[in-house]
Amino acid sequence: MKDRMRSDKGTTTKEQILAKVRNATIEKPEAMFKDIDLRTDTWMPIKEEDGNAITFVQKFKDMGGIFIYLEDEAEFGECMKQLAPQNGWEPLWCSHPAMQELLNRYGIAYSNECQREEHQKLVAFTSCQHLIAQTGSILLTDLDTRSRRTYTEADVLLILAHTDQIVSGLKEALHNLNGTLDESEISQAIILTGMTRTYDIEQNLVFGVHGPRQIAVFLIDD
């Protein structure tokens, strides 16, 4: 049996594999792409006349997002009272104490429990860390959502942000995140870029299977 496991050179298959692994760690291959630039931003620069804010709005809406501009928090309160019943954003689920306080201030009903009746949409309300202009994306952490179910189970995700949270790109957003938050404060960060997209078994494009089917950003001008 042992003889059959040995090669013509008198070594076992296991010994040959270990030898190849050992040689691979010792002999480093020559880099195929020596001149690759890992520092320069690969995204198209943002047009100066547009700026971060307009660029974000355009990209976000291109990805199917709903954008609502507000002058202050009071306008947010009035806007929510009108839009919630019109769009079926009730009942509202919110698990963040600061966001709950804001809703209470303007008499907007919400539940702190992630629950819904059968055939009823789950609508979550949260804050965020940054809005990313280049991709129209939203950077969230569990400090904002307090529950990962906010972006995994909600059918509709409503996000409150301020204009000073808009950054040009992902690099700036992550740099700011590392500079302002301690690693022990957050366990997860997520970047949302529109509704999730996947293909079913018949290769038909399906939206919102693994996340919210609708995302709306309420942007307050600071």
pLDDT of residue 130: 96
186 pLDDT higher than 60: yes
- Rounded Cα gap, residues 113 and 123, in angstroms: 11
Q: Averaging pLDDT over each range in 36-40, 58-62, 185-189, which range is the top one? A: 58-62
Across 192-208, average pLDDT: 77
190 pLDDT higher than 70: yes
In a domain, 194, yes or no: yes
Q: How confident is the model at residue 2 (pLDDT cuts 50, 70, 90)?
A: very low
| Domain that includes residue 125, residue range | 51-220
Total number of domains constituting the chain: 1
181 pLDDT higher than 60: yes
In a domain, 20, yes or no: no
In a domain, 73, yes or no: yes
- Rounded Cα gap, residues 179 and 168, in angstroms: 17
Q: How confident is the model at residue 208 (pLDDT cuts 50, 70, 90)?
A: low
Q: How confident is the model at residue 4 (pLDDT cuts 50, 70, 90)?
A: very low
- Rounded Cα gap, residues 159 and 67, in angstroms: 10
In a domain, 154, yes or no: yes
The model's pTM is 0.76
In a domain, 45, yes or no: no
In this structure, what CATH number is given to the domain that contains residue 154? 3.40.50.10420
Average pLDDT of the chain is 84
In a domain, 31, yes or no: no
Taking 3-state DSSP, the helix, strand and coil percentages for the chain, each rounded to the nearest 5, stand at 35, 20, 45
- What are residue 207's DSSP bridge partners? 197
The residue with greater pLDDT, 31 or 191, is: 191
In a domain, 165, yes or no: yes
In a domain, 43, yes or no: no
The residue with greater pLDDT, 8 or 100, is: 100
